[in-house]
Amino acid sequence: MQDLQQGCRLLVVLVVVTGMVSANTSCCSYPCENGGVCMTTGMEGFQCDCTSTDFYGTLCETPTFLKRVKLWLKPSPDTTHYLLTHYNWLWDTVNSVNFLRNAVMKKVYTLRSDMIDSPVTYTSEHSYITLDANFNTTYYARTLPPVPYNCPTPMGVWGKKEMPDVDRIVKKFFVRKKFLPEPMGTSALFSFFAQHFTHQFFKTDVKNGPQYQWGGHGVDVTHVYGKDKDAEAKLRTFKDGKLKTQLIQGEEYPPLEKDAPVDMVYPPGTPEERRFAIGQKVFGLLPGLFMYATIWLREHNRVCDILKTEHPDWDDERLYQTGKLVILGETIKIVIEDYVQHLSHYNYQLLFRPELLFGEQFQYQNRITVEFNHLYHWHPLMPSEFNVSGTTYSLREFVYHPEVVLKHGMHDFVDSLSRQRAGAFGPFNHGPLTIPVVTDLLKQGRQLRLQPYNQYRKKFNLPAFKTFEEMTGNKELAKALEEEYGDINAVEFYVGLIMEKRRYRSVFGSSIVEMGGPYSVKGLMANPICSPKYWKPSTFGGDVGFDIINTASLKKLFCNNIKGDCPLVSFEVPDYVEGDVLHDEL
């Protein structure tokens, strides 16, 4: 680390002395450690502002005594992960003793969310703090500011003068040759959950540029109810709080666009009877998204019926608004206790208990960052084909064909997705339809001047990788990457995420978990409904609504809303045996 810093400073001095650039580039090597802020001083030199970091020294490199003790006591992310994924006997005990389970969960909440700066400090427009970062919500926020302008290289001071060609990178490292199955047995029901859930807040305003977005910066269930009051009005029946539906083969489905005229994205020529109206305009794209949209719609109307029985005096408006709050609560419950639980593969059973944060220092506000959006590009999880009740569909046959769900019926479709293996997250596993997406993403990452992958590792308390082999765990891959990037510190964000070796018992490498965890926990628990004034029975129509939230599960979500037998509802395929696919197979 010291060597690296010295090297950088030497380089900066060299650059200034030789007059290659006129600007002060001394912050291009991110010389300040531990969250210290680099500020140039005059035409050369820099200062690290170590205020509120618990570190001091020229580069904020020395911890205060108290911080030193804390650091010494704190296990590394890898140790914590090891603990949480081993020692079944320990976790069995913790899971069954309420106060222990609560104590662990409280720690998870605070440790994860403390990693996220709130209020947010940066956008993609400035490499320094601006007021706009907080007040202009049309921007995605930024965890790390962009690489300053006028730096020696696009990545600061490391790597080549020009970034490697995007198309070549994609071809060399991303294209799926043969389908690689997800090694932890993840099902396609999971992949579509991820896509469905996250697209309520990943809403890039492509027209204005990748630094802009048009969402509400969090879990706001707009993907069910529509992006604003106007859209909501089009999707509502205005009777008993319910949303519009249509009956097809005895089952409730989203209404057609002609009956609920919200903006939807369908290819030209899509026949009217396949143009379904959904809260999020892109959810006609895939049957899996359509399935989740349908199931939440049914759940909302089911909850409204229950609320109406409990509150015969309530009008449509109150049933609707309260139903929406219940659905939001259920969403967070299921995300934490089913979805994140599956992702984590922890032996500890996660909990959704907002009251654990009462009395803690915790900011009930959230912003979606560009980095979280990039990190959540999990296209390798998408299989190349789907087996639905014996019929095989290629992904291409899925795209813009929501009616596949109608054809098989909800029961069979859900059952099939639960049995369908997702793809492995990693290199060489982007299917042909997702290649344009990853190509664009890499271009955007460069346009947004994302800092090098290793800078993000450090920001999230992970050690920077020293070599390509350490990052990939694969000699051949390491060599190919080194040829392209030259320097491990010049690897760009998304490439790092995909190329990083998988963690033990994990769908992802350590970076996705250690970055994604904080973003997720913060985003979920900072929701207003988790704050003390909201989180009480009366907010959700009394005990009856509160109980729906507190007992919600993925399985119940489907089984309560599918007539007859319950299908298999699982984020893990039924025939899965741990360890059946190794990362080294790649």
Mark the binding-site residues for substrate, compressed into ranges. Answer: 112
Q: Which of residues 472-531 bind a second copy (CB under 8 A)?
A: 528-529, 531
Q: Detail the DSSP E strand segments found in 374-445.
A: 385-388, 391-394
Residue placing its CB nearer to a second copy in the complex, 41 or 64: 41
Residue placing its CB nearer to a second copy in the complex, 332 or 495: 332
- Minimum distance of a second copy from residue 145's CB (angstroms): 12
Residue placing its CB nearer to a second copy in the complex, 310 or 397: 310
Catalytic residue among 30, 348, 376, 576: 376
Residue 477 host element (H or E)? helix 475-485
Judged by CB under 8 A, does residue 208 bind a second copy?
A: no
Judged by CB under 8 A, does residue 64 bind a second copy?
A: no
Report, in angstroms and rounded to the nearest whole number, the Rg of the chain calculated over CA atoms: 25
Catalytic residue among 199, 408, 411, 430: 199
Judged by CB under 8 A, does residue 57 bind a second copy?
A: no
Distance between CA atoms of residues 408 and 420, nearest Å? 15
Annotated binding site: 112, 379
376 is catalytic: yes
Strand partners, 388: 391
Residue 129 CA: distances (Å) to CA of 123, 141, 515: 8, 11, 21
| Residue listed under structure tokens 């070599």 | 467
| Residue listed under structure tokens 């490199």 | 61
Judged by CB under 8 A, does residue 207 bind a second copy?
A: no
The most distant pair of C-alpha atoms in the chain lies apart, rounded to whole Å, by: 80
- Minimum distance of a second copy from residue 288's CB (angstroms): 26
Judged by CB under 8 A, does residue 135 bind a second copy?
A: yes
- Using DSSP, state whether 187 is helix, strand or coil: strand
- Minimum distance of a second copy from residue 20's CB (angstroms): 15
Judged by CB under 8 A, does residue 257 bind a second copy?
A: no
Residue placing its CB nearer to a second copy in the complex, 160 or 234: 234
**Contacting range for a second copy; rule: CB under 8 A; set: 39-47, 70-78, 104-112, 291-299:** 39-47
- Asked whether the CA dihedral 524, 445, 153, 171 is positive or negative, the reply is positive
Structure-block tokens of residue 479: 């060599």
- Minimum distance of a second copy from residue 297's CB (angstroms): 17
Among 154, 216, 463, 486, binds a second copy (CB under 8 A): 216
Neighbour tally for 14: CB within 10 Å: 11
Q: Give the single-character DSSP code of 565.
A: S
Q: Which of residues 380-399 bind a second copy (CB under 8 A)?
A: none
- How many residues make contact with a second copy (CB under 8 A)? 66
- Minimum distance of a second copy from residue 527's CB (angstroms): 8
Among 4, 5, 47, 412, binds a second copy (CB under 8 A): 47
- 452 by Cβ neighbours in 10 Å (0-12 / 13-18 / 19+) ranks as buried
Instruction: Assess whether the previous peptide bond of 402 is cis (omega < 30° from 0).
Output: no
Among 1, 13, 20, 43, binds a second copy (CB under 8 A): 43
| Residue 300 · residue 280 · CB < 8 Å | no
Give CA angle at 342 (341, 343), nearest 5°: 90
Judged by CB under 8 A, does residue 537 bind a second copy?
A: yes
Judged by CB under 8 A, does residue 24 bind a second copy?
A: yes
Among 129, 395, 566, 568, binds a second copy (CB under 8 A): 129
**Contacting range for a second copy; rule: CB under 8 A; set: 103-111, 121-129, 169-177, 509-517:** 121-129
| Residue 284 · residue 403 · CB < 8 Å | no
- Minimum distance of a second copy from residue 333's CB (angstroms): 16
Residue placing its CB nearer to a second copy in the complex, 240 or 440: 240
| Residue listed under structure tokens 């010295």 | 6
Interhelix angle 543-550/287-310, rounded to 10 degrees, is 150
Judged by CB under 8 A, does residue 321 bind a second copy?
A: yes
- Minimum distance of a second copy from residue 548's CB (angstroms): 16
Give the DSSP per-residue string, 209-263. Answer: -TTBB-S-SS---HHHH-SSHHHHHHHB-SSTTPBP-EEETTEEEPPBTTTS---
C-alpha 465, offset from chain centre: 23
Distance between CA atoms of residues 55 and 575, nearest Å? 51
Among 177, 178, 207, 533, binds a second copy (CB under 8 A): 533
Strand partners, 175: 430
Residue in 385, 420, 365, 353 with CA at minimum distance from that of residue 569: 420
Site residues, a second copy (CB under 8 A)? 23-24, 37-43, 47, 49, 51-52, 117-119, 121, 126, 128-137, 216, 220-221, 228-229, 310-314, 317-318, 321-322, 324-325, 328, 358-365, 528-529, 531-539, 541-542
Residues annotated as catalytic are: 199, 376
